Structures are given as structure tokens and as C-alpha cells.
């Protein structure tokens, strides 16, 4: 085991991690630990754009953007955080342009902007052109630009280092009102070097989690194979709560059967959805903004069309994204990548044929709770000094129960920057926290259980079974019955997981072993998501309960907070289900009263 010492350690090298690193690296001694080479991160798969009220092509302002974000999230958004994001969006875009990002331009040479779902003029009157973009590879350009600037600033990367544990200590402390409590403090992280199989402990004054999402709990997903929720899982196991995990976004337009994303920018540029009768069905579900309604509404509408028998194809299990009325030259200029995906993977020519699409698991609205300074919370309001989180792994919460398109690229830039600055500044005043004794012991156990298992269960098969039940029972439509089915299934998977063996026993590049560890995170997170979904007996944003089809502000206008608690009784009561304790956290309101959400 080797021990390294840095002021700041950043876990993850996607958009949030590298945006943080650019700030932190110029202020404090910083290391970025990433399980992938930085340019492999899934930020690079984002397509459509990044919204900011630049008003380059039509009237717009950040207050409208804030409102859209709050309404898009079905009022579960913390409004102070949404204001920060919408206000700082403008500088976030300009920062990227100054770093070199090649945005598409208007005839005047300004950054061009286009329409996107849920982004409107004057509180919902009509779609607005707010998304800044670089063709349909905006995420790719953001990831490349941030990596280029990390190279410029000599940011130190530890590539293919898997962070598997967070080192914390607990100190006795007393609240202002005199009640004693345990204050968590961060000491560092433990990581596994893929190339050598060796463990490396990183002691740090500040740790920033920017490790991305957990989409691989689902089968049909736009997420990369590597998005296994490691950061969320590590935090949860160390007693940090996870907020709003029941809210998972299903992006309407995944390539049917594959889940590969076709950007909402297609609809922003004029494409529309049709059912088997050739109907533009979104006219019925969202009469004002139709195909540009927020993702939760469009995804549910599509699933409903299929359920009611108006799906297309031999199994009537998808709908069509129609671009055939658009000029091929326009498609080539604005949507080259996604039309290529349709050609490559489905053999469909989007110039002349509509493309088969169906909702695909896309984005975790929930995650590690933070305040607007990106500081991680150990409960509703106690900050863990030195611990930060930003991006999809975090829940600040700017997305509430449903994220608007483009707001994730914005989130990673705004809160990544905030996290990087805050982490570096904190490290200047703080001392190192002493490492716990045997800091690597937990991780050695974790790896040994997987490596030395002699059972006959295969990791890939358990993972497939998990993904199957999540797709069948935890997708766009949910009921108590389907959710309880998932929990029963996960119980059996947990038992099987204890009986796995991996075939690769070596030390070098042992991805077989790491897939076993990653499955552990997936199982843990799928359970948290499902328990939270079961508890939320209402429908809001991305969470739709057929047995409770209405939003219930009186009972549920609050965030859910899930804590790992091995003593939580398995008594079937709503607040505790075997190993998980649920609590709530108030939503922050500033200027918008909840209204009925119509588009």
C-alpha cells in the first residue's frame, strides 16, 4: 500500500471533476483520481446543449430560466440552488468559450442558441432559444475543452484509479442548542490502481466527489457501462445519506431496443414524435409546447401510447421520431452524430424514414446531498467539513423530481467550479485529519470477498437479472406491487451476490474483479431507489405511481433522505425497510409557489 498526500483530491474526471480541477489546481495541490481516462467520461456523450439566458437570438433572462427549472422539477427543486445555477449559467458558458469551446455561431458571430424541452419564454408562454450548443456533440466539446485546459494547467491525474472507499472520522460535537452529535470529518480516500492491482491511500484536506451516475441499475439505458454509482455507494456505506433517489429520468428518445440516446435537440430543431397511426400524439398531452414538453411528460406519453396499442413495429413496443420533414442539409449541420447513430445501429435513414425510439434510463436526479456551496451534508443541515460533491453524483437540488434537458451540462460547470474553489480554499485553512488505523482494511475485505469467493453465481447474470426487474418494475410507471417485486428480487440477488466467484485471479487490469465490486454498488443503490419510490405515495416529475397518480404537496412536498442503517427493522413500516432508514428534508422556496404543472 502506498500513501499520498494532497490538499485536494477530486474523484472523477468528467465535466464536474475537471471543472473543479481547473479551479482547485490553480489554488492548491490537487490530484484527480479517475477510473477512466478523463476523455472517456460520459459527459462526452451529452449531445444537445447547455442552457444559459444569453439572449443572443431572442429575449431571455435568468429568472425565466430559474422558473422553468423549478417548474420542470415539479416544484421539488431547491429554489435558491436553481437561482444560483440560472444566474451563473451565463458566466459558465462564457468561461467555456474563453477556454476555447467551439460553439456554433449566429450570423453575427455570437454563440448560437436553440430550443430545448421545458425551456420557455416568460414563464411558459412559448419555447425559447436558450441552449448554447456545438452541433449535437456539446458534451464532447465540453469534455475535450475541460481536458485541454487541465493539460494547460498541469492538473495531476491518476488514470484508472478506482476509488473504493471514503475515509472519515467522527468527532463528538455539540449543536448550538446544546444537543450532542457526531461530526463527520473527511481524511481521504482509498483507491485501487487498475494496472497493478495495488491499493493507494490518498490523504487529503478536501475531497470532491464528481464520479457521475448509476444508470447501469437499468437494462435499457443511455449510460455507459462504467456508470455504476460508485461515488453514491461509497458515501452511503459511510453513513452519508442519499437524497431523492426515487427520481430517475427516462429520456424519451433512446434508440428502440438499444437505449442509445438521440438528443432532445432533434425535437428542438423541429423533429416530432408519431404513433402507429401517424399521429403527432404530443398535441394531446402538452397542447402548448407539444414535443418540447419536459422529458418526464414526453416519456410517460410515449409509454402510454404503447400501452394503449398505438406502438409501432412487430411488437408494437416503440414510437417514431420523425425528422423527414426537415431539410437534409439542416439535419447534417445540426444533428450529424445522432442521425449517424440511427444509421449505424438500426440501419434507418433519418432523411426519409422515421426512427424507432423508446424511453431510456438516463439521469439520476438524486444523489449525495449538498448545499449551494457544494458542501456535502451528513444530515439535513450539518456540513461535513472538507467534503464536496458536484454533478450527477450530487443532489443540490437543482433538478428536483425531473431535470430539464441541458441543465446537467450546466450543473457540472456551475457546481463543479464552485466545488473546486471551495475545496481549495478550505484546504488553505484546514489541517489534515489523521488517517484512521488500517485505512485500507475495509477495501481489502471488499476485494477479498469478491476475489476469493468460490460460489457458482456469475456477476454478469445477477446484474442482468437486476437490470431486468428494474426495467420491468421501476421504470416510467410504478405501483406498490411492482416496487415490492423489485425489493423481493433484490433480496434474492443479495443472497446470490454472497455466492459469487470471479474467474480472473490476477493483479493486472482485473476488470472481472472490479465488475463484481461495481455490482455491489448497483445492488445497494437500486434498493435505495426502490425503497424511496415505495415510500413516496404520490406522482411527481419522473416518479409516477399509478396507484397514487396525483401530486400530493401536503404530504410529499419534501426531499427524501435515505440513510444506511443496519439496525433499521424489517417490519415493513414505511420509514424503514431492512437496512435503510428514510427521513425527509424541507424544500427551499424563494419566489415560486407550487402550481399545477401544465404545458
Partner 1 sequence: MSAELAEPASKIELPAGVGGGGDIPSFDVTLRVRRYNPEVSEDATWDDFKVTMYGTDRVLDALHKVKWEIDGSVSFRRSCAHGVCGSDAMRINGRNRLACKTLLKDLDTSKPITVEPIKGLPVEKDLIVDMEPFFQSFREVMPFLINKGHEPTKERLQSAEDRERFDDTTKCILCAACTSSCPVFWTDGQYFGPAAIVNAHRFIFDSRDDAGDMRLEILNDKEGVWRCRTTFNCSEACPRGIQVTQAIAEVKQAILSRKI
> Smallest distance from the beta carbon of 512 to partner 1, in angstroms?
4
**Dihedral sign computed on CA atoms, order 251, 254, 259, 262:** negative
The span from the CA of 458 to the CA of 394, in Å, is 31
Q: Which residue among 78, 83, 246, 269 contacts partner 1 (CB under 8 A)?
A: 269
Give the interface segment with partner 1, choosing from 32-40, 366-374, 552-560, 568-576 (CB under 8 A).
Answer: 32-40
**Per-residue x/- mask for partner 1, residues 375 to 414, rule CB under 8 A?**
----------------------------------------
Given the residues 295, 403, 496, 540, the one annotated as active site: 295
**Per-residue x/- mask for partner 1, residues 433 to 472, rule CB under 8 A?**
-------------------------xxxx-----------
Three-state SS sequence of 246-265: CCEEEEEEEECCCCCECCCH
> Smallest distance from the beta carbon of 274 to partner 1, in angstroms?
7
Three-state SS sequence of 484-553: HHHHHHHHHHHHHHCCECCCCCCCCCCHHHHHHHHHHHHHHHHHHHHHHHHHCCCCECCECECCECCCCH
> Which is nearest to 573 in space by CA: 531, 543, 524, 523?
531
Grid cell in block for residue 539? 406522482
Q: What is the DSSP letter of 432?
A: P
Q: Which is nearer to partner 1, 28 or 93 (CB)?
A: 93
> Smallest distance from the beta carbon of 161 to partner 1, in angstroms?
14
Q: Which is nearer to partner 1, 239 or 257 (CB)?
A: 257
Q: Which residue among 29, 61, 181, 224 contacts partner 1 (CB under 8 A)?
A: 224
295 is known as an active-site residue? yes
Q: Which is nearer to partner 1, 109 or 180 (CB)?
A: 109
Q: Which is nearer to partner 1, 83 or 322 (CB)?
A: 322
The span from the CA of 354 to the CA of 4, in Å, is 54
> Smallest distance from the beta carbon of 521 to partner 1, in angstroms?
16
Report 314-333 residues binding partner 1 (CB under 8 A).
314, 318, 320, 322, 325-326, 330
Does the protein bind partner 1 through residue 512 (CB under 8 A)? Answer: yes
Strand bridging mode 199-209 / 180-193: antiparallel
Provide the terminal-to-terminal Cα distance of the chain, rounded to the nearest Å.
57
Q: Which is nearer to partner 1, 335 or 421 (CB)?
A: 335
Does the protein bind partner 1 through residue 175 (CB under 8 A)? Answer: no
Q: Which residue among 1, 3, 173, 195 contacts partner 1 (CB under 8 A)?
A: 195
* Cα dihedral 78→83→84→90 (10° resolution): 140
* Cα dihedral 493→359→399→574 (10° resolution): -40
Tally the C-alpha atoms within 13 A of residue 62's C-alpha that lie toward its C-beta.
16
The span from the CA of 206 to the CA of 196, in Å, is 26
Does the protein bind partner 1 through residue 308 (CB under 8 A)? Answer: no
Q: Which is nearer to partner 1, 257 or 594 (CB)?
A: 257
Give SS3 for 584: strand
**Residue 181 CA to its chain's centroid (Å):** 31
Give the interface segment with partner 1, choosing from 279-287, 389-397, 483-491, 530-538 (CB under 8 A).
Answer: 279-287
Report 35-64 residues binding partner 1 (CB under 8 A).
36-37, 39-42, 44-45
Any residues with CB less than 8 A from the CB of 413 and at least 6 apart, and which? 15, 16, 19, 50, 92, 95, 96, 142
> Smallest distance from the beta carbon of 342 to partner 1, in angstroms?
11
**Per-residue x/- mask for partner 1, residues 200 to 219, rule CB under 8 A?**
--------------------
> Which is nearest to 68 in space by CA: 132, 130, 119?
119
Q: Which is nearer to partner 1, 82 or 227 (CB)?
A: 227
> Which is nearest to 396 in space by CA: 376, 413, 425?
376
Cis peptide before 427 (omega within 30 of 0): no
The span from the CA of 263 to the CA of 528, in Å, is 29
> Smallest distance from the beta carbon of 317 to partner 1, in angstroms?
10
> Smallest distance from the beta carbon of 336 to partner 1, in angstroms?
9
| Binding-residue total with partner 1 (CB under 8 A) | 88
Q: Which residue among 283, 332, 349, 481 contacts partner 1 (CB under 8 A)?
A: 283
Whether 235 and 166 have beta carbons less than 8 Å apart is answered as: yes
Grid cell in block for residue 496? 446470490
Whether 413 and 46 have beta carbons less than 8 Å apart is answered as: no
Does the protein bind partner 1 through residue 129 (CB under 8 A)? Answer: yes
> Smallest distance from the beta carbon of 439 to partner 1, in angstroms?
27
The span from the CA of 429 to the CA of 438, in Å, is 27
Q: Which is nearer to partner 1, 506 or 586 (CB)?
A: 506
Report 246-265 residues binding partner 1 (CB under 8 A).
257-258, 260
Report 82-121 residues binding partner 1 (CB under 8 A).
93-94, 97-100, 102-111, 114-115
> Smallest distance from the beta carbon of 464 to partner 1, in angstroms?
8
Q: Which residue among 119, 137, 581, 597 contacts partner 1 (CB under 8 A)?
A: 137
Does the protein bind partner 1 through residue 31 (CB under 8 A)? Answer: no
Does the protein bind partner 1 through residue 278 (CB under 8 A)? Answer: yes
Report 329-358 residues binding partner 1 (CB under 8 A).
330, 337, 341, 344-348, 353-354, 356
> Smallest distance from the beta carbon of 434 to partner 1, in angstroms?
34
- Residue 348 pairs in a beta bridge with none
For the annotated catalytic residues, the residue numbers are 295
Amino acid at each position: 500500500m502506498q500513501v499520498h498526500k494532497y490538499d485536494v483530491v477530486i474523484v472523477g474526471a468528467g465535466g464536474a471533476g475537471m471543472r473543479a480541477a481547473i479551479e482547485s489546481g490553480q489554488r492548491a495541490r490537487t490530484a484527480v483520481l479517475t477510473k477512466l481516462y478523463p476523455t472517456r467520461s460520459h459527459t462526452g456523450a451529452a449531445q444537445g446543449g447547455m442552457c444559459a439566458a444569453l439572449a443572443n437570438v431572442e429575449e431571455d433572462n435568468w429568472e425565466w430560466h430559474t422558473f422553468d427549472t423549478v417548474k420542470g422539477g415539479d416544484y421539488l427543486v431547491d429554489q435558491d440552488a436553481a437561482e444560483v445555477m440560472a444566474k451563473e449559467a451565463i458566466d459558465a458558458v462564457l468561461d467555456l468559450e474563453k477556454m476555447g469551446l467551439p460553439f456554433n455561431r449566429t450570423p453575427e458571430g455570437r454563440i448560437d442558441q436553440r430550443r430545448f424541452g421545458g425551456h420557455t419564454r416568460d414563464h411558459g408562454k412559448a419555447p425559447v432559444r436558450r441552449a448554447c450548443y456545438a452541433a449535437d456533440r456539446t458534451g464532447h466539446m465540453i469534455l475535450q475543452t475541460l481536458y485541454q485546459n487541465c493539460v494547460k494547467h498541469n492538473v495531476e491525474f491518476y488514470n484508472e484509479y478506482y476509488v473504493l472507499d471514503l475515509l472519515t472520522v467522527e468527532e463528538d460535537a455539540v449543536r448550538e442548542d446544546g444537543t450532542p452529535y457526531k461530526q463527520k470529518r473527511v481524511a481521504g480516500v482509498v483507491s485501487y490502481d487498475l494496472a497493478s492491482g495495488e491499493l493507494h491511500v490518498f490523504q487529503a484536506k478536501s475531497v470532491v466527489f464528481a464520479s457521475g451516475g448509476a444508470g447501469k441499475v437499468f437494462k435499457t439505458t443511455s449510460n455507459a457501462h462504467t456508470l455504476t454509482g460508485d461515488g453514491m455507494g461509497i458515501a452511503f456505506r459511510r453513513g452519508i445519506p442519499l437524497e431523492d433517489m426515487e427520481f430517475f429520468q427516462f429520456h424519451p428518445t433512446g434508440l428502440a431496443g438499444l437505449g442509445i440516446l438521440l438528443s432532445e435537440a432533434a425535437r428542438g430543431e423541429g423533429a416530432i414524435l408519431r404513433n402507429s397511426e401517424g399521429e403527432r400524439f404530443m398535441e394531446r398531452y402538452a397542447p402548448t409546447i407539444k414535443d418540447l414538453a419536459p422529458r418526464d411528460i414526453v416519456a410517460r406519453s410515449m409509454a402510454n401510447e404503447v400501452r394503449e396499442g398505438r406502438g409501432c413495429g412487430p411488437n408494437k413496443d416503440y414510437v417514431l421520431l420523425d425528422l423527414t420533414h426537415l431539410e437534409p442539409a439542416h439535419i447534417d449541420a445540426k444533428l450529424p452524430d445522432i442521425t449517424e447513430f440511427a444509421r449505424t445501429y438500426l440501419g434507418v435513414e433519418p432523411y426519409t424514414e422515421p426512427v424507432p425510439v423508446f424511453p431510456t434510463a438516463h439521469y439520476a436526479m438524486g444523489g449525495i446531498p449538498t448545499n449551494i456551496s457544494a458542501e456535502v451534508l451528513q444530515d439535513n443541515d450539518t456540513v461535513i467539513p472538507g467534503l464536496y460533491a458536484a454533478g450527477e453524483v450530487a443532489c443540490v437540488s437543482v433538478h428536483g423530481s425531473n431535470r430539464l434537458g441541458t441543465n446537467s451540462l450546466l450543473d457540472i460547470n456551475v457546481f463543479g467550479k464552485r466545488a473546486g474553489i471551495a475545496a481549495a480554499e478550505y484546504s488553505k485553512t484546514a489541517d489534515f485529519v489523521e488517517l484512521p488505523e488500517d485505512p485500507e482494511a475495509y477495501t481489502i475485505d471488499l476485494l477479498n470477498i469478491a476475489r476469493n469467493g468460490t460460489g457458482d453465481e456469475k456477476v454478469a447474470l445477477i446484474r442482468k437479472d437486476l437490470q431486468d426487474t428494474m426495467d420491468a418494475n421501476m421504470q416510467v410507471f410504478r405501483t406498490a406491487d411492482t416496487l415490492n417485486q423489485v425489493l423481493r428480487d433484490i433480496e434474492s440477488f443479495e443472497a446470490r451476490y454472497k455466492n459469487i466467484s470471479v474467474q480472473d485471479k490476477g493483479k493486472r487490469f482485473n476488470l472481472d474483479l472490479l465488475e463484481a465490486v461495481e455490482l455491489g454498488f448497483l445492488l445497494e443503490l437500486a434498493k435505495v431507489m426502490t425503497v424511496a419510490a415505495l415510500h413516496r405515495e404520490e406522482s411527481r416529475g419522473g416518479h409516477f405511481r399509478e396507484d397514487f397518480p396525483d401530486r400530493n404537496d401536503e404530504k410529499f412536498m419534501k426531499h427524501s433522505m435515505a440513510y444506511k442503517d443496519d439496525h433499521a427493522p424489517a417490519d415493513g413500516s414505511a420509514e424503514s425497510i431492512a437496512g435503510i432508514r428514510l427521513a425527509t428534508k424541507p424544500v427551499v422556496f424563494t419566489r415560486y409557489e407550487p402550481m399545477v404543472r401544465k404545458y
